[in-house]
Amino acid sequence: MAQAFDGLHWWRDLELAEYLVPATLEEALEMLARYGGRARVVAGGTDVVPALRRREYEVEALVDITRLPGLDQIEQEGETIHIGALVTHAQAAASALLRERAGLLARGCGAVGSPQIRNVGTLAGNLVSGQPAADASIPLLALGAEVTVVSAQGQRRLPLGEFFLDLGRTALDPGREILTRISFPALGPGQGGNFQRLAKRKALTLPMLVCAVKVALDPSRRVIREAAVALGPVAPVPWRERHCEEFLRGAPVTIETIGRAAELAAEHSDPRDSLLRGSRRYRQEMVKVLVRRALEQACAQAGCAVE
Protein backbone atom coordinates (compact mmCIF):
# COMPACT_ATOMS: atom_id res chain seq x y z
CA MET A 1 0.00 0.00 0.00
CA ALA A 2 1.46 3.38 -0.97
CA GLN A 3 1.97 6.06 1.63
CA ALA A 4 2.21 9.82 1.37
CA PHE A 5 4.56 11.31 3.97
CA ASP A 6 2.24 13.99 5.32
CA GLY A 7 3.89 13.87 8.73
CA LEU A 8 7.28 14.89 7.38
CA HIS A 9 7.66 18.42 6.19
CA TRP A 10 11.21 18.69 4.89
CA TRP A 11 10.09 18.01 1.33
CA ARG A 12 7.61 20.91 1.45
CA ASP A 13 10.64 23.27 1.35
CA LEU A 14 11.22 21.86 -2.12
CA GLU A 15 7.77 23.10 -3.16
CA LEU A 16 6.53 19.63 -4.05
CA ALA A 17 2.86 18.76 -4.21
CA GLU A 18 3.47 15.20 -3.01
CA TYR A 19 6.14 12.85 -1.62
CA LEU A 20 5.01 9.37 -2.56
CA VAL A 21 6.21 6.07 -1.13
CA PRO A 22 5.07 3.18 -3.31
CA ALA A 23 5.16 -0.37 -1.99
CA THR A 24 5.59 -2.10 -5.35
CA LEU A 25 7.32 -1.40 -8.65
CA GLU A 26 3.94 -1.37 -10.42
CA GLU A 27 2.68 1.32 -8.03
CA ALA A 28 5.82 3.37 -8.53
CA LEU A 29 5.40 3.22 -12.33
CA GLU A 30 1.72 4.16 -12.03
CA MET A 31 2.66 7.18 -9.90
CA LEU A 32 5.23 8.34 -12.44
CA ALA A 33 2.73 7.80 -15.27
CA ARG A 34 0.06 9.76 -13.37
CA TYR A 35 2.38 12.78 -13.16
CA GLY A 36 3.13 12.50 -16.90
CA GLY A 37 6.85 13.30 -16.61
CA ARG A 38 6.46 15.86 -13.78
CA ALA A 39 7.57 13.46 -11.02
CA ARG A 40 11.01 12.02 -10.36
CA VAL A 41 12.37 9.01 -8.54
CA VAL A 42 14.32 9.47 -5.32
CA ALA A 43 16.53 6.73 -3.83
CA GLY A 44 19.32 7.96 -1.51
CA GLY A 45 18.44 11.57 -2.33
CA THR A 46 22.12 12.65 -2.25
CA ASP A 47 21.96 14.07 -5.78
CA VAL A 48 18.29 14.77 -6.32
CA VAL A 49 17.59 16.74 -3.11
CA PRO A 50 20.52 19.21 -3.57
CA ALA A 51 19.53 19.53 -7.26
CA LEU A 52 15.94 20.38 -6.28
CA ARG A 53 17.19 22.93 -3.78
CA ARG A 54 19.25 24.51 -6.58
CA ARG A 55 16.08 24.49 -8.73
CA GLU A 56 17.76 22.39 -11.42
CA TYR A 57 14.63 20.33 -12.09
CA GLU A 58 10.98 21.34 -12.31
CA VAL A 59 9.11 18.51 -10.58
CA GLU A 60 5.81 18.35 -8.73
CA ALA A 61 6.34 15.08 -6.86
CA LEU A 62 9.06 12.69 -5.70
CA VAL A 63 8.50 8.94 -5.86
CA ASP A 64 10.59 7.34 -3.10
CA ILE A 65 11.57 3.85 -4.26
CA THR A 66 13.41 2.78 -1.10
CA ARG A 67 10.55 0.48 0.06
CA LEU A 68 10.35 -1.50 -3.19
CA PRO A 69 11.06 -5.16 -2.48
CA GLY A 70 13.88 -7.20 -4.04
CA LEU A 71 16.05 -4.33 -5.33
CA ASP A 72 18.68 -4.28 -2.56
CA GLN A 73 20.65 -7.41 -3.48
CA ILE A 74 24.01 -8.14 -5.13
CA GLU A 75 23.69 -11.55 -6.77
CA GLN A 76 25.66 -13.88 -9.01
CA GLU A 77 23.90 -15.83 -11.75
CA GLY A 78 26.39 -18.02 -13.60
CA GLU A 79 29.24 -15.65 -14.51
CA THR A 80 27.02 -12.53 -14.39
CA ILE A 81 26.74 -10.21 -11.39
CA HIS A 82 23.45 -8.36 -10.86
CA ILE A 83 23.18 -5.29 -8.63
CA GLY A 84 19.71 -4.10 -7.62
CA ALA A 85 18.74 -0.45 -7.92
CA LEU A 86 18.73 0.07 -4.13
CA VAL A 87 22.22 -1.30 -3.47
CA THR A 88 24.23 1.43 -1.74
CA HIS A 89 27.90 2.31 -2.19
CA ALA A 90 28.60 1.04 1.35
CA GLN A 91 27.00 -2.32 0.53
CA ALA A 92 28.99 -2.60 -2.73
CA ALA A 93 32.29 -1.59 -1.10
CA ALA A 94 31.84 -4.26 1.59
CA SER A 95 30.55 -7.03 -0.70
CA ALA A 96 32.80 -10.12 -0.66
CA LEU A 97 31.49 -11.07 -4.12
CA LEU A 98 32.39 -7.69 -5.64
CA ARG A 99 35.76 -7.53 -3.90
CA GLU A 100 36.66 -10.90 -5.35
CA ARG A 101 35.07 -10.73 -8.81
CA ALA A 102 34.83 -6.97 -9.53
CA GLY A 103 37.33 -5.33 -7.16
CA LEU A 104 37.54 -2.16 -9.27
CA LEU A 105 33.85 -1.47 -8.58
CA ALA A 106 34.12 -2.19 -4.84
CA ARG A 107 37.05 0.28 -4.70
CA GLY A 108 35.21 2.93 -6.69
CA CYS A 109 32.18 2.70 -4.41
CA GLY A 110 34.44 2.83 -1.35
CA ALA A 111 35.84 6.16 -2.60
CA VAL A 112 32.45 7.94 -2.78
CA GLY A 113 31.99 10.96 -0.49
CA SER A 114 31.85 9.93 3.15
CA PRO A 115 30.32 7.07 5.18
CA GLN A 116 27.03 9.01 5.44
CA ILE A 117 26.82 9.44 1.65
CA ARG A 118 27.90 5.84 0.98
CA ASN A 119 25.26 4.52 3.41
CA VAL A 120 22.36 5.98 1.43
CA GLY A 121 23.68 6.79 -2.07
CA THR A 122 22.98 4.07 -4.64
CA LEU A 123 24.94 2.88 -7.66
CA ALA A 124 21.80 3.30 -9.77
CA GLY A 125 21.47 6.96 -8.69
CA ASN A 126 25.15 7.46 -9.53
CA LEU A 127 24.48 6.23 -13.09
CA VAL A 128 21.24 8.16 -13.62
CA SER A 129 22.81 11.43 -12.43
CA GLY A 130 25.06 11.11 -15.49
CA GLN A 131 28.12 12.85 -14.06
CA PRO A 132 31.35 12.30 -16.03
CA ALA A 133 33.58 11.39 -13.06
CA ALA A 134 31.13 9.41 -10.93
CA ASP A 135 32.98 6.82 -8.88
CA ALA A 136 30.64 3.90 -9.63
CA SER A 137 29.86 4.84 -13.25
CA ILE A 138 33.52 4.72 -14.36
CA PRO A 139 34.25 1.16 -13.12
CA LEU A 140 30.82 -0.04 -14.33
CA LEU A 141 31.66 1.33 -17.78
CA ALA A 142 35.00 -0.52 -17.77
CA LEU A 143 33.23 -3.71 -16.68
CA GLY A 144 30.94 -3.53 -19.72
CA ALA A 145 27.80 -3.24 -17.60
CA GLU A 146 24.26 -2.96 -18.90
CA VAL A 147 21.17 -1.64 -17.14
CA THR A 148 17.59 -2.87 -17.03
CA VAL A 149 15.05 -0.07 -17.23
CA VAL A 150 11.27 -0.44 -16.78
CA SER A 151 8.34 1.85 -17.51
CA ALA A 152 4.57 1.47 -17.78
CA GLN A 153 5.25 0.40 -21.40
CA GLY A 154 7.58 -2.51 -20.52
CA GLN A 155 11.23 -3.31 -19.96
CA ARG A 156 14.42 -2.64 -21.93
CA ARG A 157 18.12 -3.37 -21.47
CA LEU A 158 20.80 -0.88 -22.40
CA PRO A 159 24.59 -1.19 -22.42
CA LEU A 160 26.23 1.67 -20.50
CA GLY A 161 28.03 2.60 -23.73
CA GLU A 162 24.62 3.81 -24.99
CA PHE A 163 23.33 5.11 -21.66
CA PHE A 164 25.30 8.33 -21.10
CA LEU A 165 24.19 10.99 -23.59
CA ASP A 166 25.51 14.30 -22.26
CA LEU A 167 26.49 16.03 -19.03
CA GLY A 168 23.75 15.03 -16.55
CA ARG A 169 21.63 13.42 -19.28
CA THR A 170 21.15 9.71 -19.90
CA ALA A 171 19.00 7.53 -22.15
CA LEU A 172 16.62 6.95 -19.20
CA ASP A 173 13.53 9.17 -19.11
CA PRO A 174 13.71 10.34 -15.47
CA GLY A 175 10.01 11.16 -15.32
CA ARG A 176 8.74 7.81 -16.64
CA GLU A 177 11.34 5.07 -16.21
CA ILE A 178 12.97 3.24 -13.31
CA LEU A 179 16.36 1.57 -13.47
CA THR A 180 15.89 -1.74 -11.67
CA ARG A 181 19.15 -3.62 -12.18
CA ILE A 182 22.80 -3.28 -13.24
CA SER A 183 24.46 -6.40 -14.72
CA PHE A 184 28.00 -7.22 -15.87
CA PRO A 185 30.29 -10.22 -16.34
CA ALA A 186 32.34 -11.15 -13.26
CA LEU A 187 36.13 -11.09 -13.66
CA GLY A 188 37.40 -14.61 -14.26
CA PRO A 189 40.73 -16.39 -14.71
CA GLY A 190 43.13 -14.47 -16.98
CA GLN A 191 41.25 -11.23 -16.30
CA GLY A 192 42.04 -8.31 -14.05
CA GLY A 193 40.75 -4.87 -13.19
CA ASN A 194 41.83 -1.78 -11.32
CA PHE A 195 40.48 1.58 -10.10
CA GLN A 196 42.57 4.72 -9.63
CA ARG A 197 41.44 8.08 -8.29
CA LEU A 198 43.25 11.38 -8.04
CA ALA A 199 41.80 13.85 -5.53
CA LYS A 200 43.02 16.59 -3.21
CA ARG A 201 41.84 14.76 -0.08
CA LYS A 202 40.95 11.18 0.82
CA ALA A 203 37.30 11.85 1.71
CA LEU A 204 34.43 14.15 0.75
CA THR A 205 36.19 15.52 -2.27
CA LEU A 206 35.51 15.73 -5.97
CA PRO A 207 37.87 13.54 -7.95
CA MET A 208 40.30 15.40 -10.23
CA LEU A 209 40.48 12.20 -12.27
CA VAL A 210 39.03 8.72 -12.07
CA CYS A 211 40.30 5.78 -14.09
CA ALA A 212 39.10 2.16 -14.22
CA VAL A 213 40.43 -0.59 -16.44
CA LYS A 214 39.65 -4.21 -17.20
CA VAL A 215 41.99 -6.49 -19.14
CA ALA A 216 41.62 -10.04 -20.45
CA LEU A 217 44.84 -11.87 -21.36
CA ASP A 218 45.11 -14.66 -23.93
CA PRO A 219 45.83 -18.24 -22.73
CA SER A 220 49.63 -17.66 -22.83
CA ARG A 221 49.03 -14.88 -20.24
CA ARG A 222 51.60 -12.72 -22.09
CA VAL A 223 49.34 -10.99 -24.63
CA ILE A 224 46.33 -8.72 -24.03
CA ARG A 225 43.22 -10.12 -25.71
CA GLU A 226 40.83 -7.27 -24.75
CA ALA A 227 41.08 -4.11 -22.66
CA ALA A 228 38.57 -1.54 -21.47
CA VAL A 229 39.86 1.82 -20.24
CA ALA A 230 37.31 4.21 -18.69
CA LEU A 231 38.14 7.74 -17.58
CA GLY A 232 36.43 10.78 -16.09
CA PRO A 233 36.07 13.71 -16.21
CA VAL A 234 37.79 14.04 -19.58
CA ALA A 235 34.61 14.51 -21.64
CA PRO A 236 30.98 15.51 -20.85
CA VAL A 237 30.16 11.83 -20.16
CA PRO A 238 31.98 8.89 -18.52
CA TRP A 239 34.50 8.05 -21.25
CA ARG A 240 35.83 4.85 -22.84
CA GLU A 241 39.24 5.61 -24.38
CA ARG A 242 38.93 3.60 -27.61
CA HIS A 243 42.32 4.52 -29.18
CA CYS A 244 44.09 3.13 -26.18
CA GLU A 245 41.85 0.03 -26.11
CA GLU A 246 42.47 -0.69 -29.81
CA PHE A 247 46.22 -0.32 -29.36
CA LEU A 248 46.15 -2.79 -26.45
CA ARG A 249 44.19 -5.48 -28.31
CA GLY A 250 46.70 -8.21 -29.26
CA ALA A 251 49.69 -6.35 -27.75
CA PRO A 252 52.29 -8.11 -25.54
CA VAL A 253 52.24 -7.28 -21.83
CA THR A 254 55.38 -5.13 -21.59
CA ILE A 255 56.42 -1.83 -20.04
CA GLU A 256 56.56 -0.35 -23.56
CA THR A 257 53.01 -1.43 -24.38
CA ILE A 258 51.62 -0.02 -21.15
CA GLY A 259 53.61 3.22 -21.55
CA ARG A 260 52.35 3.78 -25.12
CA ALA A 261 48.76 2.96 -24.12
CA ALA A 262 48.97 5.52 -21.32
CA GLU A 263 50.30 8.15 -23.74
CA LEU A 264 47.46 7.45 -26.18
CA ALA A 265 44.90 7.82 -23.40
CA ALA A 266 46.39 11.21 -22.48
CA GLU A 267 46.56 12.39 -26.11
CA HIS A 268 42.92 11.53 -26.75
CA SER A 269 41.37 12.68 -23.48
CA ASP A 270 40.03 16.19 -23.22
CA PRO A 271 39.93 17.45 -19.61
CA ARG A 272 38.95 21.09 -19.13
CA ASP A 273 40.95 23.70 -17.24
CA SER A 274 39.17 23.75 -13.88
CA LEU A 275 39.78 25.77 -10.74
CA LEU A 276 38.49 22.87 -8.64
CA ARG A 277 40.05 19.95 -10.45
CA GLY A 278 43.30 21.39 -11.86
CA SER A 279 44.59 22.53 -15.23
CA ARG A 280 44.00 20.63 -18.45
CA ARG A 281 47.75 20.15 -18.92
CA TYR A 282 48.31 18.78 -15.43
CA ARG A 283 45.38 16.40 -15.71
CA GLN A 284 46.46 15.13 -19.12
CA GLU A 285 49.83 14.27 -17.57
CA MET A 286 48.04 12.57 -14.71
CA VAL A 287 45.86 10.54 -17.10
CA LYS A 288 49.12 8.97 -18.25
CA VAL A 289 50.12 8.14 -14.69
CA LEU A 290 46.73 6.70 -13.67
CA VAL A 291 46.25 4.64 -16.84
CA ARG A 292 49.76 3.19 -16.52
CA ARG A 293 49.24 2.28 -12.84
CA ALA A 294 45.80 0.81 -13.50
CA LEU A 295 46.97 -1.30 -16.46
CA GLU A 296 50.00 -2.61 -14.55
CA GLN A 297 47.84 -3.67 -11.61
CA ALA A 298 45.14 -5.15 -13.83
CA CYS A 299 47.67 -7.20 -15.84
CA ALA A 300 49.27 -8.42 -12.61
CA GLN A 301 45.86 -9.53 -11.33
CA ALA A 302 45.21 -11.26 -14.66
CA GLY A 303 48.40 -13.29 -14.23
CA CYS A 304 51.22 -11.35 -15.90
CA ALA A 305 53.50 -8.97 -13.99
CA VAL A 306 54.60 -6.10 -16.22
CA GLU A 307 58.37 -6.19 -16.69
**Residues within window 48-107 making contact with ligand FAD, judged by CB under 6 A:** 48, 50, 65, 85
Distance of CA 254 to the CA centre of its chain: 30
Burial of 193 (0-12, 13-18, 19+ CB in 10 A): buried
CA distances from 43 to 20, 26, 195, 232, 264 (A): 12, 16, 25, 24, 38
- Distance between CA 213 and CA 141 in Å, rounded? 9
> For ligand FAD, which is the closer residue by CB, 113 or 144?
113
- Distance between CA 95 and CA 101 in Å, rounded? 10
> For ligand FAD, which is the closer residue by CB, 81 or 136?
136
Q: What's the min distance (Å) between Cβ of 158 and ligand FAD?
A: 12
**Stretches 11-19, 20-28, 111-119, 217-225: which one binds ligand FAD (CB under 6 A)?**
111-119
- Distance between CA 10 and CA 3 in Å, rounded? 16
Q: Does 129 bind ligand FAD (CB under 6 A)?
A: yes
Q: Does 134 bind ligand FAD (CB under 6 A)?
A: yes
Terminal Cα distance for the chain, rounded = 61
Q: Does 150 bind ligand FAD (CB under 6 A)?
A: no
Q: Does 135 bind ligand FAD (CB under 6 A)?
A: yes
Q: Does 32 bind ligand FAD (CB under 6 A)?
A: no
Q: Does 235 bind ligand FAD (CB under 6 A)?
A: no
Residues that bind ligand FAD (CB under 6 A): 40-48, 50, 65, 85, 112-113, 117, 121-122, 124-126, 128-129, 134-135, 172, 174, 178-179, 204
